[in-house]
Amino acid sequence: MAQKTELWKVENEELIAVPVTVLDKERRLQEWLAKNPAKLLDMDILIIGKEVTTTLKNQNNRIDLLAIDKSGDVLIIEVKRDRTPREVVAQALDYASWIDTLSATQIREISQKYLGDVSKIDNFLADSNITLNTNHKIVIVAAQLDDASERIVQYLANKYSLNINVVFFNFHKYDKGGEYLSKSWLTDFEEQQEKIEIQKQGAEIATEYHFFNVGEGGGRTWEVCKEYGFLSAGGALRFKNFMQNFEVGNKIFAYVKGGGYVGYGTVTAKAVRIKDFNVNGQLLATYDLPEENKGLFRNSDNDESVDYAIGIEWHKTLEKKEGIWEKNMFVHRQTTCRLFNKMTVDILEKKFGIKK
């Protein structure tokens, strides 16, 4: 059934419907997506191209937006514009067939035209050993699709495990002034990614372990996480959701870009804002932390960008230079996920001395 989004404004305890209107220029939405991909698409991605010209012999031969995620997978973002729903689905699939033929070098050449400095890709990727364009995914952006087009997308995703989804944006205008943008996904984004991750890791059943990418930067370092017994993530609302999913007792392997797997521990405290995180009865913020860690407490009152921290009892930790890494071990584009890859788990259990 076609998606429908409704929005109400609360005024003097009364609900006033804010009607959906046609966005005056869909290019505005494209620009918003290019500037705010993490906020609007719930993905940690880097835009590497806009209006990318393909070699396809058809009337519409330019990809609206091209991006990569932390594991080097290429993301095709296609805005519906004035095409019929079936046309935009078919066009996105055609673009994916073209992307599939490109080498990592060609992807870098495309990105250089947009980014200028291709080293931005290497700084963004989760690990220096990652190869670009091993996989790709498709996001169709639309106000709505017809029932048949939705069935086609869901069939491709569910039957053939194609990483394709639709994000619906509706533009609302209130007659007393103000513009609003609402969003919904055709398929639950996190649920879809977990299914794909199972297939990607070559397993059918999740293990008892969680993967956690420490993501150094913005005040966050492995050294401070290790010393004070916590892990944190922030910068967008989705990270809050990730962190709040952890339960006391969950087992975690910590990973650091450029080092490998550096820690094994158990969650001892559920997620709280970093400014409220306690270490031995004392707020972390009151400790004499190195200057480089002061950024942890930036935007501490902003629910969308503040870091959320979970308490960790570390059973074994390593320095970054001693990190565990072997060819084909698992690394994830997002901050955290369940570990399914048996080879990775077997190596880590042995290296960290975990007895079953």
**Per-residue pLDDT reduced to its tens digit, 242-297:** 898 899 999 999 999 889 999 999 999 999 999 999 999 999 999 999 999 988 88
**Alpha-carbon gap, residue 76 to 185, rounded angstroms:** 16
Q: For all residues of the chain together, what is the average pLDDT?
A: 85
Whether 130 and 235 map to the same domain: the answer is no
Closest CA to 164 of 196, 134, 133: 196
Cβ-contact 2, 144 below 8 angstroms: yes
Whether 62 and 167 map to the same domain: the answer is yes
Out of 53-62, 83-92, 228-237, 249-258, the most confident range is 249-258
149-181 pLDDT tens trace:
888 988 888 777 788 999 888 887 777 677 788
Answer with the residue of higher pLDDT: 251 or 328: 251
Whether 320 and 241 map to the same domain: the answer is yes
Whether 193 and 243 map to the same domain: the answer is no
**Residue range 200-228: mean pLDDT, rounded:** 83
Closest CA to 97 of 143, 40, 151, 57: 57
Give domain status of residue 99, yes or no. yes
Asked if pLDDT for residue 1 goes beyond 50, the answer is: no
Whether 266 and 147 map to the same domain: the answer is no
Whether 20 and 156 map to the same domain: the answer is yes
User: What global pTM score does this model have?
Assistant: 0.61
Whether 152 and 229 map to the same domain: the answer is no
Answer with the residue of higher pLDDT: 247 or 83: 247
Answer with the residue of higher pLDDT: 28 or 281: 281
- Secondary structure letter of residue 74 according to DSSP: E
Output the CA angle 336-338-342, nearest 5 degrees.
Answer: 125
Out of 77-91, 148-162, 169-183, 186-200, the most confident range is 148-162
Answer with the residue of higher pLDDT: 270 or 215: 270
Q: Which of 169, 199, 229 is the last residue of a domain?
A: 199
**Residue range 293-305: mean pLDDT, rounded:** 80
Whether 64 and 194 map to the same domain: the answer is yes
Give domain status of residue 2, yes or no. no
Q: Which of 159, 178, 199 is the last residue of a domain?
A: 199
pLDDT of residue 230: 97
Whether 26 and 144 map to the same domain: the answer is yes
What is the domain extent for residue 320? 202-351
39: which residues sit within 8 A by CB, 6+ positions away? 236, 237, 304
Give domain status of residue 65, yes or no. yes
Distance from chain centroid for Cα 207 = 21
